[in-house]
């Protein structure tokens, strides 16, 4: 049986969940994974009343964990700068690293992987994307004979929970408060609702599938905070729903990389993944389109991913090669892409507004598939919905400014419509 001596850095919910899983499931890990895991030391700046580490050695300075006789450092402290320093120091001391930290990989992945390669050690990170759902292993091992052409999905459970509830009629603010109450959203939810969490994850997956650099440059990111529940009603009327979609897609010899809200067909696979679930769609040449879904967060699912990495490391004879740090594929200029758009426009006088709106689109040579006045809202505002033909993203900002500056218009927002 293989054996790994590990040091855990961090002592929050994820780290204590890993500790308890190893302690409680050690016999199962022995039999299923041919692995005996010994927790040698824990780096914890403070105690956690939710978990008793027993006789396990505690270091208050997390960097002192590296000085112990361990094979693997488990980085679960989160954040970027200190985590980067800790990981690089462990690597230079010939320790393998397992991390669940997507942010540090997104911002410093290329540097970390190059250093690991130079020192003959491995950095594994199954839990960094979709917690324990085995998307990393799928891309790096199971699909090794396939050419992946596109990865898309909902990669943030908080955003999917909020949008799923808004689809049922709740408003954004009350749903966000519910997500915080249920523990699905942080007290400061900016990282989730403004799209950064999903962006970090798709950036990592894009690096694995296509060789884009970490951090990627010229990457379009938009959150969900401007979406309103009325948008779901109008989307449903046209056979759509709204999701926050992260996309990495081969586009000739470059890669299209983006994360933003979209209208997607309500009968599609991704449209039907609700609540906090993450879901990913992978397009390949040999196997066609694959779907993978699961819990995107939580102690148990993250612990599952970390232990999977340890089993993989222990049974690999240290020959895992997860990331080719020498590849650097260019990204497509987002402004060169074309989308159909949904525009929601509130006007004081619908007849005047519709004439002004259609003239504005005509001046930009942008076709309109549908323009429709909706039932009046409370107050004097009259909603107008416009669905455009495809047009270049670089035209969107000027169009938006021209529309909002019309005398008859007092509110506007837009959402891209995702094509297949």
For residue 322, name the pLDDT band (cuts at 50, 70, 90): low
Tell me how far apart the alpha carbons of residues 204 and 280 are, in angstroms, rounded to a whole number.
14
pLDDT at 27: 92
89 sits in the region (left: phi over 0; alpha: psi -120 to 50; else beta) called alpha
Confidence of residue 302 (pLDDT cuts 50, 70, 90): confident
**Helix pair 26-33, 299-314: axis angle to 10 deg:** 40
Mean pLDDT of 90-111: 96
Residue 250 has pLDDT above 90, yes or no: yes
Q: What is the mean pLDDT of residues 30-47?
A: 95
* pLDDT bucket at 327, cuts 50 / 70 / 90: low
Buried b (16+ CB within 10 A) or exposed e, 127-141: bbbbbbbbbbbbbbe
Predicted confidence at residue 218, as pLDDT, reads 76
Q: How far apart are the first and last CA of the chain?
A: 48
Instruction: Indicate the average pLDDT of the chain.
Output: 92
Question: Residues with Cβ < 8 Å from 365, sequence gap 6 or more?
Answer: none
- The Cα–Cα gap between 373 and 362 comes to 19
Q: What is the pLDDT of residue 323?
A: 59
Both tokens assigned to 17: 């969940």
pLDDT digits (tens, 9 = 90+) for 41-90: 999 999 999 899 999 999 999 999 999 999 999 999 999 999 999 999 99
Q: Are 10 and 43 within 8 A, CB to CB? A: yes
> What is the reported pTM?
0.92
Q: Walk me through the domains of the chain, giving residue ranges and CATH numbers.
A: 2-124 (3.40.50.720), 135-295 (3.30.360.10), 337-417 (3.30.70.260)
Looking at residue 297, its pLDDT comes to 64
Q: Which two tokens stand for residue 390?
A: 């495809």
Q: Confidence class of residue 130 from pLDDT cuts 50, 70 and 90?
A: confident
Task: Quote the percentage of the chain above a pLDDT of 70.
Answer: 96
Q: Report the 3 state secondary structure along the chain.
A: CEEEEEEEECCCHHHHHHHHHHHHCHHHHHHHHCEEEEEEEEECCCCCCCCCCCCCEEECCHHHHHHCCCCEEEECCCCCHHHHHHHHHHHHCCCEEEECCHHHHHHHHHHHHHHHHHHCCCEECHHHCCCCCCHHHHHHHHCCCCCEEEEEEECCHHHHHHHHHHHCCCCHHHHHHHHHHCCCCCCCCHHHHCCHHHHHHHHHHHHHHHCCCCCCCCCEECCCCCCCHHHHHHHHHCCEEEEEEEEEEEECCEEEEEEEEEEEECCCCHHHCCCCEEEEEEEECCCCEEEEEEECCCHHHHHHHHHHHHHHHHCCCCCCCCCCCCCCCCECCHHHCEEEEEEEEEECCHHHHHHHHHHHHHHCCCCEEEEEECCCCCCCCEEEEEEECCEEHHHHHHHHHHHHCCCCEEEEEEEEECCC
- The predicted pLDDT at position 37 comes to 97
Structure tokens at 373: 């006045």
Q: What are the backbone dihedrals phi and psi of residue 39, each rounded to the nearest 5 degrees, phi first?
A: -85, 105
Angle at 196 between CA 153 and CA 15, to 5 degrees: 90
Q: What is the mean pLDDT of residues 396-405?
A: 95
Residue 379, pLDDT > 80, answer no
Which residues are catalytic, by number? 201
pLDDT (0 to 100) of residue 210: 92
Residue 276 confidence (pLDDT): 87
- Flag whether pLDDT at 326 surpasses 60: no
pLDDT at 328 over 80: no
CA distance 341 to 330: 26
Q: What is the pLDDT of residues 139-149, one digit of tens each?
A: 988 998 999 99
pLDDT band at 296 (very low <50, low <70, confident <90, very high): low
| Residue 298 pLDDT exceeds 80 | no
**CB of 154 closer than 8 Å to CB of 273:** yes
């Amino acid at each position: 049986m293989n054996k790994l001596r590990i040091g855990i850095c961090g002592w929050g919910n994820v780290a204590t969940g890993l500790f308890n899983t190893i302690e409680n499931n050690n016999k199962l890990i022995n039999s299923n994974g041919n692995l005996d895991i010994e927790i040698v030391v824990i780096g914890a700046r403070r105690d956690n009343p939710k978990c008793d580490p027993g006789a396990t050695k505690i270091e208050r300075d997390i960097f002192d964990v590296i000085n112990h006789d361990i094979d693997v450092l488990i980085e679960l402290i989160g954040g970027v700068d200190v985590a980067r320093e800790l990981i690089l120091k462990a690597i230079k001391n010939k320790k393998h690293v397992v991390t669940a930290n997507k942010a540090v990989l997104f911002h410093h992945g290329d540097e970390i992987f190059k250093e690991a390669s130079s020192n003959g050690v491995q950095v594994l990170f199954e839990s960094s994307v979709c917690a324990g759902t085995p998307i990393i292993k799928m891309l790096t091992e199971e699909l090794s004979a396939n050419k992946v052409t596109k990865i898309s999905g909902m990669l943030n459970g908080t955003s999917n929970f909020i949008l799923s509830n808004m689809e049922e009629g709740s408003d954004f603010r009350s749903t966000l408060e519910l997500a915080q109450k249920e523990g699905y959203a942080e007290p400061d939810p900016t990282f989730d609702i403004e799209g950064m969490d999903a962006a970090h994850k798709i950036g990592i997956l894009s690096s694995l599938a296509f060789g884009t650099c970490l951090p990627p440059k010229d990457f379009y990111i938009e959150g969900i905070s401007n979406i309103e529940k009325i948008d779901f009603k109008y989307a449903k009327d046209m056979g759509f729903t709204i999701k926050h979609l992260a996309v990495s897609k081969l586009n000739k010899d470059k890669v299209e990389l983006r994360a933003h809200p979209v209208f997607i067909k309500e009968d599609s696979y991704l449209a039907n993944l609700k609540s906090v679930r993450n879901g990913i769609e992978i397009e390949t040449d040999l196997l066609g389109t694959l779907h993978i879904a699961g819990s995107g967060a939580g102690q148990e699912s993250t612990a599952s991913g970390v232990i999977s990495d340890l089993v993989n490391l222990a049974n690999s004879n240290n020959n895992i090669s997860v990331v080719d740090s020498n590849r650097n594929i260019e990204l497509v200029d987002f402004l060169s892409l074309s989308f159909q758009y949904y525009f929601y426009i509130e006007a004081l006088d619908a007849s005047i507004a519709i004439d002004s709106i259609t003239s504005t689109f005509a001046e930009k040579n942008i076709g309109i598939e549908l323009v429709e006045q909706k039932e009046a809202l409370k107050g004097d505002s009259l909603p107008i919905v416009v669905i455009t033909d495809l047009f270049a993203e670089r035209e969107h900002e000027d169009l938006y400014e021209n529309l909002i500056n019309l005398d008859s218009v007092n509110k506007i927002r837009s959402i891209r419509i995702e094509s297949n």
